[in-house]
Structure 1
C-alpha cells in the first residue's frame, strides 16, 4: 500500500509522481574511480569490463525511485569476451594500418556489422542486472532492429574507409585526368555521413526508448496492477527526425558562429591570446564545446523522456539548459584548477542534475 503521507510523493490529475533522487557523493565515487583507473592501467585495459560493472553498481545503488534504491548484480565476466574481441580488432588495426591501409579498412568494415550486436548485448546486460523493488529491468530490442538502425550509414561509411585507405596507400597514384575522383568521393561520403547523423540519432533513440522494460513480479499473483504485469516503454510518434536535425543544427550553427567571430575579430582574439595562447585558446575551445554539448544533451533528454511512457507509467523531464551549462563550466574550471582531480565530483554533480530532472508518474487506476 502506498504511504500517502510521504512528502516526496505527489498526487496529480495524471497520477502519482514517484520522485527520483541521486544520493552519491563525489568523495565516495572518487575512491572507486581511482581504484578502477589504477587497475585498468595496471592490467593494460583488461580490467575495464569489471571497472564498468563496479561503476554501474555504484550509480544504480545511489539512485532512488520513490524512496527505494536500484540495485545492480552484474559483474564484468559476461562482457569480458566482447571486450577482448574489440581489443584484438583494435590492436590488429593499429599494427597493419600504416603498412596495409586498405587491409586495415577492410578489417574495420568486416567488424562493423558486429557493432550493433555488441551494443544490444551491452544494453541487455546493463538492464537485466538492474532491479527495482525486486523487479528486473529489461531491454526487448533484437539484433535485426539494432542492425537496421545503422544500415543507412553502411554505404557512405564503406566509401569513406576504402577511399581514405586508397588515398593513403601506394594505390594513390592516379593519373592527371582522374586524380580528383577519389578525393571527391571521400568528401561526398563524409558529407553524407554528417547529413545522416541526426537521422541516425533519431533512429537509435527510438530503438532504445521503444524497448526498455520492467519485468513482471513473479509474486504478484494474478493482479492487474503494474507490479503484476511486465512493462514496456514506447516513444510517441510525434518525436520525428526533424527534431534531431534542429538540435544538431544548433550545434552546427554554434560552430559556424564561432568560426565567423574568429574571422571577423582575428586581431582582437590574437591580442587576447598573446599572454598564454595555448592555455587560453584551449579553454575557449572547451567552453564552446561544453556549451554546444549542453544544448544537445538538454534538448535530447527533454525530447525523449517527455515522450516516453508505458502502460502504467509515464516520464517527464525538465532540464534547464542554463543550469546544465553553468554546471559544466563550473566543472571545467575546477577540473583545470585541480589538475583533473575534481573529475569524479563533476561526474556525480552532472549525474545528479540530469537524473533529478526526470520525474516518473504512475498513471491513475494502477496500484
Structure 2
C-alpha cells in the first residue's frame, strides 16, 4: 500500500466510527459499541464481515480512545491535505497474518450502575411475591454478560423470563412434594427421595442447555450437547461415591462435573476441552480439609477438657464458644475464596477451545483479601454493598483470565458462524427450561 493510501485510511478513523473530530471519550466508546453491534448482527445473519473491516474498526478505536495516541493522530491529521486532494487509487487489502497472541478478558461494569438494577430487582421481586425474580435474573445476567469483554466485543444473554419462571415452578413443586412427604412419614420421604434421584440429571441437562444456548459472543451462540446418561453418571454415580466416602471423593466428583459441563459445551461447532487432572483438584482441597479437621479436633479436645469442671474447664468452654463462630466464618471468608481461586486457575488453565487455550492466574491471596473486604463492607452497610461486591469479584476474575489465540480470533468466529447449522439452533430452542437461581 502506498503512503497516500495509508494517509487516506488514517484520515477515516473518525468516519469509521461515525463521529466528529471533537467527540468525547464516551461518544467514542458508544460509537464503537454501535459498530460492533452491527458486526454482531451480520454474524447472526450468517454474513461474516470482512476481516479488514474489523481490523480497521479496532485500530480506529484503539487510537482514538488513547489520549496520547489521539493527540499524535490529530496532529498528523492536521498536516494532511484534504481527502479530495489525495490520489483516488483503490485501497489494497492487507492480508491477515494470523499471528495470534494473548487476548485478555475485561469486565467494564460499575458498582453504582449495577446497584440501580439490583435494588429495583429486589423491590419488584418482593412486591410480586417472587414472580418477578425470573425477570430479575434476565436483567442481572444481561448486565454481567454484556460488560464482559474479549477482544473489544461483549458477550450477551438471551434467556426468556417465562422459561426461567417455568423452571422455578418445576423446582418449587419438586421441593414442595419432598417436604410434604417428609411430614407424612419417613417411608414416604425415602420413596420421594428415590424418585427424585433420576430427575436431577434430567433437570441439570435442561439447565445447562438453556444457559449455553442463551449465551452468545459476537452474535454466535454457545450450545450444550451433554446427554442424560452422562449426567446420571456424574450426579448419581460420582455424587453417591462422594457421600459414601464421607466426601473424601468429592474432588473426583468436582472434576467430573466440570469436565461434563465444559467438554459438552460448544461455540459454534467447536467443543471446549478440559484436561484438568484429579490430582490437581485433590491438591486444591487438601489445605481446606486440613484446616477444617484441625478446627474440629480442637473443639473436641477443648470440649473434653471442659468436662473436668473447675477454672480450667470454664476457660476451655470459653474457647469452644470462640472456635465455633470461627468454624462458621472461616470457610466463607478464607476457604471458599481459596478453593474458588485455585480451582478456577486449575480448570481454565487446562481448557482449550479448538486451537485456542485459556489461562487463569488469579492471585489466591489477593482474592481472599478481596473477599474479606467485601464481607466487611456488606456487614457495615447492612447488605447494600452487595452490588459493588459482585462487580468487584467479576472484574477481578476477568482481569486474570486470558485466551491464547492461535491465528485470528476474527477468522475463527467468522468460520464458526458460517459453519453453524440452522437445525442446531432450532433444536436448542426446545430446551426452554432453566432451574438456575
Partner of 1:235: 274
Partner of 1:37: 122
Partner of 2:295: 258
How far the C-alpha of 1:283 sits from its partner, in A, is: 6.6
1:246 aligns with 2:246: no
Q: Distance in 1 between matches of 2:208 and 2:177?
A: 26
Partner of 1:159: none
Query: Do 2:302 and 2:316's aligned partners in 1 also have CA atoms closer than 8 Å?
Result: no
1:27 aligns with 2:132: no
Q: After superposition, give the CA deviation of every residue in 1:314-333 in whole Å (9 maximum; x if it has no partner).
A: 11001010110000000111
**Alignment gaps of 5+ in structure 1:** 157-188, 216-229
Q: After superposition, give the CA deviation of every residue in 1:323-363 in whole Å (9 maximum; x if it has no partner).
A: 10000000111111111111111111111111221101211
Partner of 1:344: 387
Q: Identify which range, 295-304 or 136-145, moves more after superposition.
A: 136-145
Query: Do 1:54 and 1:75's aligned partners in 2 also have CA atoms closer than 8 Å?
Result: no
Give 1 or 2: higher helix fraction. Answer: 2
Query: Do 2:209 and 2:224's aligned partners in 1 also have CA atoms closer than 8 Å?
Result: yes
How far the C-alpha of 1:200 sits from its partner, in A, is: 0.9
How far the C-alpha of 1:62 sits from its partner, in A, is: 1.0
Query: Do 2:357 and 2:404's aligned partners in 1 also have CA atoms closer than 8 Å?
Result: yes
3-state SS of the aligned residue for 2:359?
strand
3-state SS of the aligned residue for 2:184?
coil
Query: Do 1:49 and 1:76's aligned partners in 2 also have CA atoms closer than 8 Å?
Result: yes
Query: Do 1:139 and 1:213's aligned partners in 2 also have CA atoms closer than 8 Å?
Result: yes
Assess, with a 3 A threshold, how the Cα gap between structure 1 residues 272 and 297 changes in structure 2: closer, same or farther: farther
**Alignment gaps of 5+ in structure 2:** 1-51, 66-97, 307-311, 412-437
Partner of 2:149: 64
3-state SS of the aligned residue for 2:362?
coil
Query: Do 1:19 and 1:67's aligned partners in 2 also have CA atoms closer than 8 Å?
Result: no
1:198 aligns with 2:251: yes
3-state SS of the aligned residue for 1:98?
helix
Query: Do 1:62 and 1:70's aligned partners in 2 also have CA atoms closer than 8 Å?
Result: yes
Partner of 1:314: 357
Q: Distance in 1 between matches of 2:124 and 2:171?
A: 19
TM, length-normalised to structure 2: 0.64
Partner of 2:372: 329
Assess, with a 3 A threshold, how the Cα gap between structure 1 residues 45 and 109 changes in structure 2: closer, same or farther: farther
Partner of 2:236: 151
How far the C-alpha of 1:14 sits from its partner, in A, is: 8.1
Q: After superposition, give the CA deviation of every residue in 1:60-119 in whole Å (9 maximum; x if it has no partner).
A: 111111111112222221233222111012122223313312212321221221212222
Give the 5 Å matches for 1:215-230. Answer: 215=268, 230=269
Q: Distance in 2 between matches of 1:336 and 1:272?
A: 29
Query: Do 2:104 and 2:151's aligned partners in 1 also have CA atoms closer than 8 Å?
Result: yes
Partner of 1:84: 169
Assess, with a 3 A threshold, how the Cα gap between structure 1 residues 46 and 257 changes in structure 2: closer, same or farther: same
How far the C-alpha of 1:193 sits from its partner, in A, is: 5.0
Q: CA RMSD in A?
A: 3.2
TM, length-normalised to structure 1: 0.75
Query: Do 1:79 and 1:122's aligned partners in 2 also have CA atoms closer than 8 Å?
Result: no
